[in-house]
Amino acid sequence: MQPWPLAKRILFRFAVAFFVLINFPFPFDFIPIGALEPVFEKISDAPVHLAARMLHVSVDVRPNGSGDTTYNYVNLLCVFVIAIVITIIWSILDRRRLRYDKGWIAFRAYLRFVLAVAMISYGMAKVIPSQFPAPTLDRLMQRFGDASPMGLLWTFMGASVAYNIFSGAAEMLGGLLLTTRRTTLLGALVSAGAMTNIVMLNFAYDVPVKIYSTQLLIEAIVIALPDVPRLVDFFIRNRAVTPAPLPRLTQSRGLEIAGIVVRTFAVAAFLFMSVREVRENLKTYSAGNRSPLYGIWRVDDYQIDGHAVADLTRWRRVIFEIRPMMSVQLMDDVRVRLSAKMDEKNRLLVVSRRNEPQWDGRLTYQRPAPDTLMIDGALGGKNVHALCHLEPMPKFLLTTRGFHWINEYPFNR
């Protein structure tokens, strides 16, 4: 067999080093031993903190729902540099090896399952709508122009269960197809199509998952790379193509069957775990977790330290929907969403907002009548009092318009 070109060998070594490092600790993070998590974290943190000191940047904020933190960018730089170093050392020590046929088969299988896990996880969170829940009351009461680009994306995705399921099914289909050798190419192409749309949404709507989504798209492309000449021949040159041989790491039929059995059980177990995790997350946003104070409350009297407030900082409405949250709408209609831990027995609300201590406090509530709510307590070091009355629930066009087969005129409001 012809030796691989030098550039191809070097690129292969770099790709192995880069993608193994960027996906660390996969697959070891599936080992159900809690003590391993801090170990993995320390291993990942060490080069990042060293690089941060050299670059004079702060990486105090770890990934927290945002995957585009300074930490993430420094980590990406570290992975890139370390992968280059590994490639140089590997190329020197293994300079006599002219091909990596079995290495490529193993590496492609690794990438297949890295990508499959991500596609199935994100797809499941849409097929069972939990990533994009239905628009909440405070979101529906928010001024349209005050929504962030990411908030707008979350709203239009959550407003349509059908589109949620459709997009999630495409992601899951790509992930499942990646788990078998015969359907790897189709899985990579489906995944690349789905991820191209996701990457574009993340960049266009400023969703802080740009690094990770781009990484997944590149992985799908790398998996499909060996078949690009065949795809070009078939779709562009209109030429017949021969079937690609199925890659095999072993010629032993017994080992191959054992691998198929292990693969099948692993995929089934992961699907079960994904369903369970998504259903647990869904409980947070479901009607079963509705706050006992559910509704839109108009604030008729608002005082700070015993004095009535009449400026734009005055509360206009207080909105409750799910238990862990509470929203305040100010007089200029700006919405402030708070984390709220509710103690029903003591009628206590412990509220907070990240990096905004003026919204940290302990509030008590009384409900002397079904349509009356009194809130008192300390908020941001000041004593607040709010007398609220329940407003009739609006019929929001976004959630009540529904689907129509026939539209004589565009209904664009």
Question: Per residue in 217-227, pLDDT tens?
Answer: 999 999 999 99
Question: Which CATH fold would you assign to the domain 287-390?
Answer: Lipocalin (2.40.128)
Report the predicted TM-score, pTM, of the whole model to 2 decimal places.
0.91
Burial of 144 (0-12, 13-18, 19+ CB in 10 A): exposed
What are the DSSP E strand ranges found in 228-314? Answer: 290-304, 307-308
What is the predicted pLDDT for the residue at 287?
65
Q: Range(s) for CATH 2.40.128.20 in the chain?
A: 287-390
- Measure the CA dihedral 12/16/22/23, to 10°: 130
CA separation for the pair 285, 276 (Å, rounded)? 15
DSSP secondary structure letter of residue 350: E
Hey, what amino acid is at 389?
H
Measured in residues, the chain has a length of 413
* Predicted local distance difference test score (pLDDT) of residue 252: 79
pLDDT tens, position by position, 35-65: 788 888 899 999 999 999 999 999 999 888 8
Q: How many whole angstroms separate alpha carbon 118 and alpha carbon 131?
A: 14
Name residues of the chain where pLDDT drops below 50. none
